[in-house]
């Protein structure tokens, strides 16, 4: 089972990373101004992760695939790392779908 690891950044904003069982970060949040907003972001990931249509598959300027997860209002709620292949990116999406719904929350 995955876990959401939360932390406060040096910029004073609040962040979370969704980590898979092996400890690898599979989704990173944007910065939030409050812990309440961050927690709502975590709930939004849980809610939207099962909907494949919420994942936007993209390619970075240097040609590496990545994905974003969007809420129903179109706002980005998480972004992946850059992958070496589209297959790696697609595996990352499947990992988010599998891990997010039941992931625990841990404060770092």
Q: What is the DSSP string of 23-92?
A: S-EEEE---BSSHHHHHHHHHHHHHHTT-GGGEEEEE-TTS-EEEEEE-TTS-EEEE----SSHHHHHHH
How many of the other CB atoms lie within 10 Å of CB of 89? 22
Q: CATH number for the domain including 44? A: 2.30.29.80
pLDDT digits (tens, 9 = 90+) for 3-59: 999 999 999 999 999 999 899 999 999 999 999 999 999 999 999 999 999 999 999
Residues in contact with 5: Cβ distance below 8 Å, sequence separation at least 6, in sequence order: 16, 17, 19, 106, 108
Q: Domain containing 100: what range?
A: 3-107
pLDDT for the residue numbered 69 = 98
pTM for the structure as a whole: 0.93
Number of domains in the chain: 1
């Amino acid at each position: 089972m995955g876990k959401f690891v939360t932390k406060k950044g040096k910029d004073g904003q609040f962040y979370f990373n969704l980590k898979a069982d092996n400890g690898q970060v599979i989704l990173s949040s944007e910065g939030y101004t409050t812990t309440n907003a961050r927690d709502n972001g975590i709930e939004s990931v849980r809610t939207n992760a099962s909907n494949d249509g919420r994942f936007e598959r993209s390619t970075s300027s240097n040609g590496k695939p990545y994905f974003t997860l969007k809420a129903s209002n179109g706002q980005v709620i998480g972004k992946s790392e850059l992958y070496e292949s589209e297959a790696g990116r697609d595996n990352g999406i499947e990992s988010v779908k599998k891990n997010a719904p039941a992931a625990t929350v841990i404060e770092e």
